[in-house]
Amino acid sequence: MTEHLPALVTLLTILLMFGTAFAVGLARGRYGIQAPATSGHPAFERAFRVQMNTLEATLLFLPTLWLAAHYGFAFWAGIAGLVWIAARTWYALAYLREAARRGGGFALGMVAWMATLLMALAGLGRAMLAG
């Protein structure tokens, strides 16, 4: 079970990214923003920034999640990953409504990511010292 937790977190991350891309598509339709434009209405621009920021955060998160899992922290990295998913979902939903509300989810996601980063650093350091 523990060994599958990072895989589960990865799938949830993919679904979150898909959700934020879907929100951009909806906003394109609702506000009449024709591709390839990426501006033209504040609500569309928020949806677009949510997608891009989620993508940026995912690129920081997935490699550290898997390094932490590989170097002996599959369970705790998985738990931090579930917190990260919750935080980034909160961030996305809040930012879609109002840019000023994005701080809480962002900060919690950052803490959860930093936890996986510390696990990856600790695990890798331990493995390198052991030869």
In the complex, the residues that contact a second copy under the rule CB under 8 A are: 1, 4, 7-8, 10-11, 13-14, 17-18, 21, 34-38, 42, 45-46, 48-49, 51, 55-56, 58-60, 62-64, 67, 70-71, 99, 102, 117, 120-121, 124, 127-128, 131
Q: How many residues does the chain have?
A: 131
Distance (Å, whole) CA 23 – CA 44: 9
Cis omega (within 30 of 0) on the bond before 36? yes
In the chain, what is the straight-line distance between the N-terminal and C-terminal CA atoms, in Å? 29
How far lies 86's CA from each of 61, 62, 96, 115, in Å? 13, 15, 16, 15
Nearest approach, Cβ of 78 to a second copy (angstroms)?
Answer: 12
**Of the two residues 8 and 82, which places its CB atom closer to a second copy in the complex?**
8
Least gap, CB of 109 to a second copy (angstroms): 12
Write down the least CB distance from residue 51 to a second copy, Å.
Answer: 7
Residue 64 or 89 having the CB closest to a second copy: 64
